[in-house]
Amino acid sequence: MAGEQTPDMDRLIAELMEEIARQEAARYSAKVLEEARNPRNVGAMLDPDGHAGLNGACGDRMEVFLRLDGPQIVRATFMTDGCGPTVACGSMLTRMALGKTLEEAAAIRATDLVAALDGLPPEHEHCASLVVNTLRLAILNCEKPEEPAGDA
């Protein structure tokens, strides 16, 4: 019957999933995998106090939204169309920024984010830079609201 799987197919799928999990565990830290598979603070924010979006050289898009109480970040969210490491970086950085002042959050470096994730493969370290740069731009936009897009 169409749509039914045979026991051999079920076994093959299970073996492939186990192999993928082994390869991911060999390549990424447990923290990267946890943040990528179960990201926190995902989603757009209505009327944020600060917002920015950047496109990375790799083609990933990152957006960061901030809600403030005075100079303190009380809510931070992100959206991305990027890969697992980009999702992990967005999730971890929003958690790192929460409760910090704008000045403290602006001081977070890509190397701090990579360390918080227990490392990234060298070919994915640019994901941390993209997320940190997007946060910094959102912080600047808290101080000077974004202007509406105009014609060139």
Active-site residues: which are they?
Answer: 58, 127
| 2 dihedral zone (left: phi>0; alpha: psi -120 to 50; beta) | beta
Burial (Cβ within 10 Å: 0-12, 13-18, ≥19) of residue 66: buried
**Pair 54, 130: CB distance under 8 Å:** yes
Closest by Cα among 83, 16, 73 to 50:
73
- How far is the C-alpha of 125 from the C-alpha of 129, rounded, in Å? 7
**Pair 78, 114: CB distance under 8 Å:** no
**Pair 117, 35: CB distance under 8 Å:** yes
